[in-house]
Amino acid sequence: MTGISIRRAEARDAEAIRDIYAGENAYSGTLQLPNPSLELWEKRVSNIPDNVYAFVAEVEGEIVGHLGMEVCPNPRRRHVASFGMGVKDAFLGQGVGSALVATMVDLADNWLNLLRIELTVFVDNKAALGLYSKFGFEIEGESEAYAFRDGEYVSVYHMARIKTNQ
């Protein structure tokens, strides 16, 4: 899909971000709960700490994706960030996730001098696994029964991308 623009998330985006995570795929594929409240997202988006970078993806003025990246505040792990993201159900498979991850990787590599980006992803989330692999993320391990989702325990892979051109 062409016409995807990425920008920093702002407080005024809270309702649109909430709507992303209200989608079944988004809350099922993340650690979010169904039926997120607007108040929760207003707090999250209006009080972003200095070590957190939040982005939204827009298509024709509609916010259709969100990514948050946290740089570790611990002095011995300041070379590491972790992230989570969600894409509106109707826009899956259209390049929104790729645009968000590309923006994050550029920031990490070229502006923040990060060496490692890490994440957890449910083992059955084939689309996300493909997306992350495309950007150089590799599976480093698995945690069984990591989270409870839709009445059962599910496992995750721990993935990381280590910048190679240091």
Q: For 125-147, write each residue's pLDDT tens digit.
A: 999 999 999 999 999 999 999 99
Contacts by 107-113 with C-beta closer than 8 Å and gap 24+? Answer: 107/53, 107/69, 108/69, 108/81, 108/163, 109/163, 112/71, 112/81, 113/79
Q: What is the mean pLDDT of residues 7-19?
A: 96
pTM of the predicted model over 0.85: yes
Q: Is 1's pLDDT higher than 70?
A: no
Q: What is the mean pLDDT of residues 68-89?
A: 97
Percentage with pLDDT > 90 across the chain: 96
Rounded alpha-carbon distances, angstroms, from residue 25 to 65, 78, 87, 119: 12, 32, 8, 18
Q: Give per-residue burial for 94-122: e unless 16+ CB within 10 Å, then b.
A: bbbbbbbbebbbebbbeebebeebbbbbb
Q: What is the mean pLDDT of residues 90-97?
A: 96
Boundaries of every domain in the chain: 4-162
Q: Is residue 164 very low, low, confident or very high in pLDDT (cuts 50, 70, 90)?
A: confident
**Tokens matching residue 114:** 């990060």
**Tokens matching residue 3:** 């016409």
Instruction: Tell me the CATH architecture of domain 4-162.
Output: 3-Layer(aba) Sandwich (3.40)
Secondary structure element (H or E) that encloses residue 87, with its range? strand 80-87
